A and B are shown apart, each in its own frame.
Chain A
Amino acid sequence: MLDFVIKRLAQVVIVVFLALTVVFFLIRLSGDPVALFLPPDTSREQIEEYREVLGFNRPLYEQYGEFMGNAVKGDFGTSLKTNEDALTMVLERLPATVQLAIASLIIALVVAIPVGVLAAYKKNSVFDKFAVGVTIVGQAMPSFWLGLLLIYFFAVQMNWLPSGGSGSPIHLLLPSLTLATYSIARFTRFTRSTMLDVLRMDYIRTAKASGATTFSLVSKYALKNSLIPIITLVALDLGTLLGGAVVVEMIFAWPGIGRLLMQSLLNRDFPIVMAGVFIIAFIYAMINFIADIVYAYVNPQIRVK
């Protein structure tokens, strides 16, 4: 087990390292990096001055070495707009993104597990067909469009909820619902199919025959055994949730990492982009790492492989 953990941990480091390397070279190879690093209205003298300051006149490997050397120390440079430390700016936005992701995850689980279980238990009923239909639409729904519709309905028409911004649980409602939709669809579908598999098992039939009530049958025997695959899927989907957060944050002006990253991409503020890529790659890789460890813990076959 320890071997497995160390191996997977090394992979986390490689992921983060390669993500930074790729973005570094993409930026350097896509034309004049100084032009990328500076706003379009910069004067010629300023550009030359920056070339000197940012070290773009030096050989590529030297620049890369210095960048990585600094990155290891957590130094990604300063924002080209505000001169603040890039990594600090990204980390300041982290809690908002985590808050959004966790709220969405809770919504998704609270909706998906009961609906999935019930749909499986009442297979082919009206409820089941309706639930399956909704999940199919939910998986095809572009989240940014759903966000726009929710804003239009709840903020513009009904005036019940704020259309964007942050600060209170009310502000969290629409963005987290938007972000949760895809996961609700996915988790519901998965819970349903896992439950269907479990409900076919012999021990369920035995429990039924020995007079177990419907409730105890589902909660005690079936759901318990479906939970492992569901938890694994949830853990793996956390990363996708994090990626989806970028889009949702933009629509609702949610002050998270995604929005900062998008604004920095639009402003060509690349030190922040690098710091953002670093943090996201790290978190995403760590989530996958933890999911794998949990999975290996509950399923010993994986460890042997």
Chain B
Amino acid sequence: MVQKTIEIPVETSKKETKFQYFFRSLFKSWTGIVGFVIILLLIAISLFGEIMVPYDPLAADFTKKLLPPMTEGHVLGTDQLGRDVLSRIIVGARISVVIGVITVLLAGTVGTVVGIISGYFRGWVDVVLMRIVDVQLSFPFILLVLVINAIMGTGLKNIIISLAIGGWVVFARVIRGEVLALREKEFVAASIATGVTKFGVLFKHILPNLITPITVLASLQIATYIIAEASVSFLGFGVQPPTPAWGNMLSEGKDYILSSWWLITFPGLAILVTTLGVNLFGDWLRDTLDPESTE
């Protein structure tokens, strides 16, 4: 046997941990770094926002309404009820993050399970599930979320459920495709040939290889959910005032567009920076983990 002679010493000589590899590739891409830093900031703000806020985000003060930025200690000004805009944006970050993350967990889990069942076990279950996916994908996502949310009722819990109902199909479709491709790979055929059971192959070979596409897809989908929540809340559903979500802040601000530009500027900027950061990081993640894939 020539087995021993073809051992490749590259990985063992470097002794690089996954952690090190992550940062080494991250520092090669400035867009990746920007995205990563924005995400870190966002997580920090959503965890410690309450300590960071200069004012109570819910406290109205009618003597100080519609103050422009940089007046009387209000860096980003105040709104129509005299509430501090910066404090409301900081607290709003948590809402966006919570909605994005929980939705992606829900939609990702359901979609992945469906995708695996469809792609791995095939048969009539696959046909039925993919029909459902096809049907749902042929209806505009944002409209679906709006209609479901309007019927279910507003609020944080219902907007998350509405987004997850709208979003799981993307995971199901992509993960099914990945599983189908994995099934054809030699190492899967080899383990089946050596007598590994169907579930053994699934847990040992298929699932570990799904982690990359799931991670990439999840990171990119979060941005979609955050924008969708903001849109829905802007339109009067989703998260309701006085809870400060970026979408409903813009919705309230648009009534004062003639006099107070800051009310329609800063919450939107917060959304843009957030989705930009998540997208940049997601793009980098895709390019790094999955170099073969294109858009």
A contacts, CB < 8 Å to B: 11, 14-15, 18-19, 23, 26-27, 30, 36, 136-137, 139-145, 148-149, 151-152, 156, 189-190, 193, 239-240, 242-244, 246-247, 250-251, 261-262, 265-266, 273, 277, 280-281, 284-285, 288
Residues of A within 8 A of B219 (CB): none
CB pair A262 B235 closer than 8 Å: yes
Check B227 for interface membership: any CB of A closer than 8 A: yes
The 8 A-B residue pairs whose C-beta atoms are closest, nearest first, are: A243-B140, A145-B268, A265-B150, A140-B276, A140-B275, A148-B264, A15-B138, A26-B151
Contact B261 A142 (CB under 8 A): no
Chain B residues engaging chain A, CB cutoff 8 angstroms: 31, 131, 134-135, 138-143, 146-148, 150-153, 223, 227, 230-231, 234-237, 250, 253-254, 257-258, 261, 264-265, 268, 271-272, 275-276, 279-280, 294-295
A156→B259 CA distance, assembly (Å): 9
Having A142-B230, A145-B264, A145-B271, one finds 10 other A-B pairs with CB under 8 Å, namely A27-B151, A140-B279, A141-B275, A144-B235, A148-B253, A149-B265, A156-B258, A193-B294, A239-B140, A281-B139
Partner of B268, one of A11, A14, A142, A273: A142
B residues in contact with A136, CB < 8 Å: 31, 276, 279-280
* Least CB separation from B261: chain A residue: A152
Contact partner, B135, options A15, A149, A243, Cβ 8 Å: A15
Cα A190 to Cα B227 with chains together (Å) = 22
Smallest Cβ distance from A181 to chain B, in angstroms? 12
Q: Min CB distance, A243 to chain B, in Å?
A: 3
| Interchain residue pairs with CB less than 8 A apart (12) | A15-B138, A30-B153, A137-B272, A137-B276, A145-B272, A148-B250, A148-B254, A156-B258, A243-B140, A243-B141, A246-B142, A261-B143
Shortest beta-carbon distance from A199 to chain B in Å: 15
Partner of B257, one of A26, A27, A30, A152: A152
Residues of A within 8 A of B152 (CB): 26, 30
